Chains A and B, each alone.
Chain A
Amino acid sequence: MRVYVHDEKTEGVALDVCTKLGVDILTPEIVRSRDALPEGFDFFLDQVDALIIEITEPTRDIQFILAQAILAGKPTLCLYAKNQPPRELLSHIKQKTAPRPIKTFSYVDATLAGAIKKFMRQHDPDHQDYDDVPSIKYTLRLTPRIERYLSWRSTRDTLSKADLIRDILKKSSEQDEPYSDEHESEE
Chain B
Amino acid sequence: MIHSDPIAVITVGGKKGEFATSAAFTTWCKDFFELQMIFTVEPIFVDSSGSSHQFRAMQQVARRIHREWNRFHGFVVHVPDQDFLLQADLLAFMLGTVGKPVIVMAASATAGEQNESGDYTPSALRASLLNAAQAATSEFGGVALLSSEHVVPVVLSVNSDAGIVQSATKQYIGRVDFGVQIANPSFPRIDTKPVVNTAIGEAVPVIDIDTLNHSSSSSFGGAEGIIVTSSDPLPLSVTSSLPQDVPVLLVSRNGIHAYDHGQLASIDQLTPCAAQAKFIWVVGQMKSDTPILKEHSLTQWMFHDFTHEILPPML
Contact = CB atoms under 8 A, between A and B. Distances in A.
Interface in A90-140: 92, 95-96
Nearest to B37: A92
A28 B177 CA distance: 9
A74 B6 CA distance: 27
Contact of B130 (A35, A67, A96): A67
A63 B2 CA distance: 8
A8 B94 CA distance: 43
Interface residues of B, number: 26
B48 interface: no
B35 A67 contact: yes
Interface string B175-199: 1111111010000000000000000
A145 interface: no
A7 to B, nearest CB: 13
A40 to B, nearest CB: 11
A66 B176 CA distance: 14
Contacts of B130: 64, 67-68, 71
Contacts of B2: 58, 60, 63, 88-89, 92
B34 A70 contact: yes
Contacts of A65: 178-179
B37 A67 contact: yes
Nearest to B183: A35
B34 A36 contact: no
A29 B301 CA distance: 45
Nearest to B175: A36
A37 interface: yes
A60 B183 contact: no
8 contacts: A31-B177, A32-B181, A43-B111, A44-B149, A64-B130, A71-B123, A71-B127, A71-B130
10 closest residue pairs by CB, A with B? A42-B111, A61-B179, A67-B34, A92-B37, A63-B38, A64-B134, A42-B148, A71-B34, A44-B177, A31-B178
Interface of B: 2-3, 33-35, 37-38, 111-112, 123, 126-127, 130-131, 134, 137, 148-149, 175-181, 183
